[in-house]
């Protein structure tokens, strides 16, 4: 075991941040750590790093004293040195750098005739041996390779770190963490400053890495690619799930269905007991009625599971129905200072109900095109025409439709001052602004809260052509999913600029890619044109007209193969495990057989328990409650066992092909 939290509690003043959190990190695992903003994800990492101390429970930290080589990345890390990019990446390997500098000095001295050559060469041999023992040559080569994979050229290696942009510094710190974390990597939102080629390299690197990895991320596509286990933090508590993000969602839904069933059973029981008490409290059975009332007062009541608690429910009402064509672009191009960013589009029609995604690298003109359509800036060439009865709503990354002088309530009320207070409060509740939160000033809101309020303001106005510029930035996963559901249910047209591949895969029915000075339109979604969207044209050419498959949940987790950094290779799916096929088949067959035995055993136990419960006296609530909890646990275990069996069976079938 590399690290663990055991029944950990943590408070920040009166606020209880973590409650009985347990998590064990074993060798060979890749953890996705998920939860709403503020759920305690980064705090869990800080506990493992020793940056905060737990109020209760125990923490086993991955320390150097335990022989664990750990790398940690967070967005707020700052460079240690004032040196070059390469020097900063290698800063953690001070002994290696010191030995390398001494080697260079000795090499220079060996060229000077006045030196005692024998003594210098003896020292040079010893220094070289020590350097090789610390993998000095390998570390430098790995550092250069990782930096190149993260978007740095060889010329960038000597650039002073202090001259880099914030995003570039973050990528240097990520490279540094990868170099350090030969046993364990703790990565907090590592994908935020990566372009698609670098992101796909990171996916492949993690899939192949020998190191154990734990990653905090809101990128669901990324989690589907790399995660073998999920740690969910919700309301301060932890839950562990096997599999990637899609598998987690399936199991979470099964849990919700079970909880709803148990809630309904308990409500029926409570109703029956209350009816009995009402009829008998003043009669000859008053003693029994009082006893049941005492039981109900002590009953641990199941809270009603609300599905909409897991998602922010958005709604985009159209002010009126527009014509079949919402927008036409004619010979249109955008740019700055009179220079076009791409060759003009001859003609592009966006129809009512269409959902078009705009993709491309940063700086190619995606957001600029949205601004031009929204009439915030002029087109460099051509023009745009709106369809009949079209009303445009524009969501920009900086949320400029928010008035900093307003509170949350005032922001929405100002859209329609005739609205009654209760109507505004009800509307804001859909966006998770409740209670005192409606009186918060706009200037005091977090990034995610500002995004929610910006969307709420837009919705309040009512639109039938929606322009969305990176709508999921600063949002947690439940809010992202709600945004996707909203765009899908929106009856008007929508144009979405996004780097979120999961969102793109769910909502886009057409794509506009801006790349290398050209804007090209294609019908179909992300799963139809994955390589084209990811700018990996070499792979598309090799594969002919076929595109890679959309993201799929992996089969049962496998041990990771040994890794080597490959800066120029950007795999779009996990690399096949290099093992003999027959051994793999035998392993999968064993997994299927074990899963079948487990399912049968749980089904038998559940049947026995239900038979026992059928013959119990429901008035003995304490005994009945114990068995009800046991039934709930068995049903959950059975649901997981069935999922494990399905995963093992799928893996076996795949291996047999």
Which pLDDT score, from 0 to 100, does residue 540 have?
A: 37
Q: What angle do CA 537, 538, 539 make, to 5 degrees?
A: 90
CA distance 244 to 231: 10
- The pair of three-digit structure tokens given for residue 117, joined into one six-digit string: 């050559």
CA distance 514 to 317: 31
Query: In 3D, which of 349, 339, 421 has the Cα closest to residue 380?
Result: 339
Query: In 3D, which of 93, 145, 262, 235 has the Cα closest to residue 628?
Result: 262
* Sign of the Cα pseudo-torsion (340, 343, 345, 350, in order): negative
Which pLDDT score, from 0 to 100, does residue 113 have?
A: 58
Q: How far is CA 251 from the centre of its chain?
A: 17
State which residues of the chain have pLDDT below 70.
Answer: 113-115, 134, 306-320, 536-588, 617-622, 624, 655-657
Helical residues (DSSP H) of 321-468, grouped into ranges: 366-373, 408-413, 421-429, 447-461
Helix axes 94-110, 117-133, angle to 10 degrees: 160
Q: Which residues contact 151 (CB under 8 A, 6 or more apart)?
A: 171, 194, 195, 197, 198
Helical residues (DSSP H) of 164-244, grouped into ranges: 166-180, 196-208, 220-226
Query: In 3D, which of 243, 339, 186, 187 has the Cα closest to residue 558?
Result: 243
From the candidate CATH numbers 3.40.980.10, 3.20.20.140, 1.20.140.10, 3.40.50.300, the one assigned to the domain spanning 325-542: 3.40.50.300
Is the CATH number of domain 3-239 3.40.50.300?
yes
């Amino acid at each position: 075991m590399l690290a663990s939290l055991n029944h950990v509690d943590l408070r920040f003043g009166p606020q209880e941040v973590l409650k009985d959190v347990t998590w064990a990190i074993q060798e060979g695992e890749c953890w996705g750590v998920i939860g709403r903003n503020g759920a305690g994800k980064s705090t869990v990492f800080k506990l493992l790093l020793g940056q905060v101390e737990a109020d209760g429970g125990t923490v086993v930290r991955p320390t150097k004293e335990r022989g664990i080589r750990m790398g940690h990345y967070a967005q707020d890390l700052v460079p240690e040195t004032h040196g070059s990019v390469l020097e900063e990446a290698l800063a953690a390997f001070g002994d290696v750098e010191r030995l390398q500098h001494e080697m260079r000095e000795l090499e220079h001295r060996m060229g000077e005739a006045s030196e005692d050559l024998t003594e210098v060469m003896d020292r040079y041999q010893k220094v070289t041996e020590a350097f090789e023992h610390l993998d000095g040559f390998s570390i430098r080569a790995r550092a250069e390779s990782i930096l190149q994979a993260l978007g740095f050229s060889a010329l960038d290696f000597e650039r002073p770190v202090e001259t880099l942009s914030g995003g570039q510094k973050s990528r240097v710190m990520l490279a540094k963490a990868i170099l350090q974390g030969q046993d364990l990597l703790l990565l907090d939102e590592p994908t935020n400053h990566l372009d698609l080629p670098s992101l796909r390299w990171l996916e492949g690197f993690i899939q192949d890495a020998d190191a154990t990895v734990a990653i905090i991320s809101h990128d669901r596509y990324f989690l589907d690619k790399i995660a073998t286990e999920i740690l969910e933090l919700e309301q301060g508590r932890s839950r562990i799930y096997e599999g990637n993000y899609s598998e987690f969602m399936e199991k979470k839904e099964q849990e919700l269905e079970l909880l709803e069933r148990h809630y309904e059973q308990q409500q029926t029981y409570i109703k029956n007991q209350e009816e009995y008490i009402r009829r008998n409290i003043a009669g000859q059975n008053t003693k029994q009625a009082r006893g049941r009332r005492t039981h109900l007062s002590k009953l641990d009541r199941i809270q009603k599971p609300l599905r909409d608690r897991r998602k922010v429910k958005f709604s985009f009402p159209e002010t009126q129905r527009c014509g079949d064509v919402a927008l036409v672009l004619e010979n249109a191009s955008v740019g700055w200072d009179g220079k076009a960013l791409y060759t003009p589009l001859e003609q592009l029609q966006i129809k009512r109900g269409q959902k078009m995604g705009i993709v491309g690298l940063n700086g190619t003109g995606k957001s600029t095109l949205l601004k031009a359509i929204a009439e915030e800036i002029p087109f460099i060439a051509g023009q745009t025409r709106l369809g009949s009865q079209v009303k445009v709503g524009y969501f920009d990354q900086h949320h400029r439709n928010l008035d900093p002088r307003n509170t949350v309530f005032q922001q929405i009320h100002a859209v329609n001052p005739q609205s009654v207070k209760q109507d505004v409060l009800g509307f804001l509740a859909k966006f998770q602004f409740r209670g005192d939160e409606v009186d918060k000033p706009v200037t005091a809101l977090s990034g995610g809260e500002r995004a929610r309020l910006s969307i709420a303001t837009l919705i309040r106005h009512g639109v039938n052509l929606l322009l969305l510029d990176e709508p999921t930035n600063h949002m947690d996963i439940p809010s992202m999913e709600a945004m996707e559901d909203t765009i899908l249910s929106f009856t008007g047209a929508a144009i979405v600029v996004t780097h979120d591949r999961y969102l793109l895969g769910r909502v886009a029915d057409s794509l506009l890619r801006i790349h290398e000075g050209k804007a090209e339109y294609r019908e179909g979604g992300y799963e139809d044109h994955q390589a084209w969207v990811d700018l990996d044209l070499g792979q598309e050419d090799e594969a002919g007209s076929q595109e890679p498959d959309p993201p799929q949940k992996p089969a049962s987790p496998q041990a990771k193969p040994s890794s080597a950094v490959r800066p120029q290779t950007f795999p779009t799916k996990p690399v096949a495990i290099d093992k003999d096929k027959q051994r793999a088949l035998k392993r999968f067959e064993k997994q299927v057989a074990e899963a079948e035995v487990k399912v049968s055993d749980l089904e038998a136990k559940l049947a026995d328990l239900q038979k026992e419960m059928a013959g119990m006296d429901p008035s003995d609530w304490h005994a009945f409650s114990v068995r009800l909890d046991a039934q709930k646990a068995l049903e959950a275990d059975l649901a997981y066992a069935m999922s494990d069996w399905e995963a093992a069976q799928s893996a076996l079938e795949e291996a047999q092909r």
